[in-house]
Chains A and B, each alone.
Chain A
Amino acid sequence: MMNLKHLFKLMWNRRKMNLLMIIEIFISFIIIFVLAQSLVKFAVYYSEPLGFEYKNIWNLEVNSNNMENTEARKEIELIKQEIKSYAEVIEISEAYAIPYTSVDMRTTVELDDKEILTNMMLGDDNYAEVLGIELVAGRWFDEQDNASNYKPIVINRKLKEYFFGDEEAVGKFLGQRDDQRLIIGVVDQIKKRGELNDFGKLLFKRINPENPDSWIGESILIKMKPGTNMDFEEKLMRRLSIISNNFTLEMRSLEAMRERSFDKYSSIVYIFAFISLFLVINVSLGLFGVLWYNINYRKSEIGIRRSFGSTARSIYSQIVGETMVISTFSLILGSFIVFQLYVFLRNWLRPDIFYASYIISVLVIYLITAICAFYPSKLAADIEPAEALHDE
């Protein structure tokens, strides 16, 4: 077994040469960490619940074509009434910025000295039921809110944690523009853009058809009985086009919208995975080259050690061990940088994704350096000592 003090002394005396390797491994670690962040992020998002249901839900896009509000409200109510009259329909909901659409709304909310730009979605009183959204605290919008002095909002867990931490949020207020909004409920995560995306902090505002100032939705979500087929869609659309004179209507199932969105994000994942593989191969080849050069440079030393009693196994243990120590120095440096980055970007980085990516990157670096060091050092150690000495 090689003496550790001797090993460290040798490495210290070769610090200039080792510094090159430390830098090479450090850069490799940073590259792998950035890639791991992206891939782990996708994997974690995919493993987390979507927060709503998409099966047997259809989305009727209703475009009022800039109609005056009162007229638009009348017409949309007619459309809703017609849809509800069919036995195939379980429930409907008027909404704005629904899942899988590219319509995003954002608003700034504040409490005391804290404020944040957050996503916003709009839905009527049936929205949670139609989309199967479960509340973790409080309730969804209902008729009680008609009599309330405050405009109600439902927020998601992330927004709640940002402002209130572990404390209860229901019954408290958040400021939006000049208004105070009463939090009536808290939902878990709602991944509006699908499984591979974290929609972040979110609040819901109420669409109240009885209030003439309320928003008019751009979507009517229709919860169908399971097994309802496309013939019904044709029948319904024919009927709606007779009723609606001014609206442009388009029907798509949420399942089809999900598939399109999933394809879009999964192709990003594939591109990332391909780039990662390409970069990992490049990093490995770079490391392999540096290690191969270093080991060849040390052939004479290997011959000397073999002459004076080292076994082949002890030689490659020494070289692999040295490489692991150098990798550890690079990783200490790399860890310092990525943890600084984490402190700086902690509002945007999720701790679980950060730590998982960090551990994966550390393991990948140790694995790559061990493989890259093992092969050339084994080849060098296995040659006859006389040949190694001859190669000086």
Chain B
Amino acid sequence: MIQLNNIDKVYATNTIETTALKAINLHVEKGEFVSVMGPSGCGKSTLLNIIGLLDSATNGEVLIDGQSVQKYGDIKLAKLRNQKIGFVFQSFHLINDLSVLDNVEIPLLYRRMSGAERKRKALAALEKVGLKARTKHFPNQLSGGQRQRVAIARAIVGEPELILADEPTGNLDSVMGAEIMDILMRLNKEENTTIVMVTHDEHLAKQTQRIIRLFDGSQVG
């Protein structure tokens, strides 16, 4: 499903160049649940952003479903992100001025779909994460765990084949974290969704099928 060939990422300013990723080669099969581990600043989030087409690599090639995306323009990349990928972020990244239901509907706004269909799908996604009763709440009326569940509902509402989760339990206590992990595991098992998860938590990483370890921008395991 995902193939990274010799990916480098260098952040350059006028005075300094910082290498975030060096010669990363990675292959993730469809239906796999992979975790990415490593110390802070080792390039985990950068790797996830490149896989999710949120950032571009300095060198190397990214293939999604066997298609190189290097030459894709903004419209094609946006379409790929919309239809194939769902994101879950550590800090939830919900829009505070929108209700839970409206937040979940966001990916569907960029598809041709009626309002009723959008609502039906958003409610179904919220049901999967156990938040159907909170559709009219706003993010700041929810706990951290509930917000992350909304974020997961938003990630899965468009039925993407790939979910990229950047430390999804990083801002949650262990009980909440376990709940979120359960949801992700269920999505992977029941819906065969491919998941790449960045985590610091060894215990969570061990629950996934494979662990990719990074150190100083290089793949060490």
A81 to B109, CA, bound (A): 90
Q: Are A309 and B91 in contact (CB under 8 A)?
A: no
Q: Are B97 and A306 in contact (CB under 8 A)?
A: no
A300 to B95, CA, bound (A): 8
Total A-B residue pairs with C-beta atoms closer than 8 Å?
A: 75
Nearest residue (CB) in A for B50 is: A386
Please name the 5 residue pairs, one residue from A and one from B, whose CB atoms are nearest each other, closest first. Answer: A309-B82, A309-B110, A386-B55, A308-B107, A386-B54
A387 to B89, CA, bound (A): 14
Q: Are A2 and B109 in contact (CB under 8 A)?
A: yes
Which residues of the partner chain A approach B81 to less than 8 Å between Cβ atoms? 306-309
Q: Are B54 and A384 in contact (CB under 8 A)?
A: yes
Contact of B56 among A5, A300, A306, A384 (CB under 8 A): A384
Give chain B's interface residue range (CB within 8 Å of chain A): 20 to 34
* A392 → chain B closest CB, angstroms: 6
Contact of B97 among A3, A13, A303, A389 (CB under 8 A): A13
Interface size on A, residues (CB 8 A): 28
Q: Are B78 and A306 in contact (CB under 8 A)?
A: yes
8 CB contacts below 8 A, A to B, read: A6-B105, A10-B102, A303-B93, A306-B54, A306-B81, A308-B107, A384-B55, A386-B46
Which residues of the partner chain B approach A260 to less than 8 Å between Cβ atoms? none
Q: Are A307 and B87 in contact (CB under 8 A)?
A: yes
Q: Are B98 and A310 in contact (CB under 8 A)?
A: no
A310 to B95, CA, bound (A): 15
Q: Is B120 an interface residue (CB 8 A)?
A: no
Q: Are A309 and B102 in contact (CB under 8 A)?
A: no
A309 to B115, CA, bound (A): 17
Q: Are B78 and A309 in contact (CB under 8 A)?
A: yes
Q: Is B75 an interface residue (CB 8 A)?
A: yes
Main secondary structure of the interface of A (DSSP, over half): helix
Known: A2-B109, A386-B49. A392 touches B91 (CB 8 A): yes
Would you give the 0/1 interface string for A1-30, flagging 1 where the beta carbon is closer than 8 Å to chain B?
Answer: 011011001100110000000000000000
Q: Are B154 and A308 in contact (CB under 8 A)?
A: yes
Q: Are B115 and A3 in contact (CB under 8 A)?
A: yes
A384 to B115, CA, bound (A): 29
Q: A314-B110, A386-B46 are in contact. List 7 more A-B contacts (CB 8 A).
A: A308-B107, A309-B78, A309-B111, A310-B78, A385-B55, A386-B54, A392-B93
Contact of B106 among A13, A304, A312 (CB under 8 A): A304
Q: Are B107 and A309 in contact (CB under 8 A)?
A: yes
Q: Are A6 and B93 in contact (CB under 8 A)?
A: no
Known: A10-B98, A13-B98, A392-B93. A311 touches B52 (CB 8 A): no
Contact of A311 among B74, B91, B105 (CB under 8 A): B74
Q: Is B135 an interface residue (CB 8 A)?
A: no
* B45 → chain A closest CB, angstroms: 8
A204 to B176, CA, bound (A): 92
